[in-house]
Homo-oligomer: A and B are copies of this chain.
Amino acid sequence: MIRVQEHDFDVGAELAALTAGNHQVGGLAVFVGLVRDMAGDRDIDAMTLEHYPGMTEKMLARIETEANERWPLEASLIIHRVGRLEPGEQIVLVAAASAHRQAAFDACQFLIDWLKTKAPFWKLEETGQGALWVDARDSDTAATERWSTPKKGAAE
């Protein structure tokens, strides 16, 4: 399941709904991304998340499908917020449930790694020096590349 939304999400309720009634789930791996109040040496007052409506949902759905093809998942979830967020607020929730924990962990990491390099979101930080578009990080590209295989990728 994927969702793009402005409002916050309730991690406990989302995870409970994800595995409710499915007694094949032995492990649930989850990642929550939060807004930090610093980036490098810049103080962050807030950030605004822009996205490409339509393509975002398409890419997230494809990333989720790819994870389900690579690992035997019982359930998966991606929720990403857009709009203005302040430090401490939740940005993204990804979760993968499987019979076994390694599949859950690997799929969860894959989901967030691919999301970070393939899903069309952009962060605009409000700092003391004005508003700055965040640069893509080489480490995110590297994190994604570890999942590449000779087979056809899910995106780009």
Kindly specify which of A18-26, A55-63, A65-73 makes contact with the partner chain: A18-26
Q: How many monomers of this chain does the complex have?
A: 2
CA distance A36 to B25 in the complex (A): 6
Q: How far is the CB of A91 from chain B (nearest CB, A)?
A: 9
Whether the Cβ atoms of B88 and A31 lie closer than 8 Å is no
Q: DSSP class of A's interface residues: helix, strand, loop or mixed?
A: mixed
Whether the Cβ atoms of B10 and A34 lie closer than 8 Å is no
Whether the Cβ atoms of A31 and B30 lie closer than 8 Å is yes
Q: Which residues of B contact A139 (CB under 8 A)?
A: 102
Q: Which residue of B lies closest to A143 (CB)?
A: B102
Interface residues in A26-40 (C-beta closer than 8 Å to B):
26-38
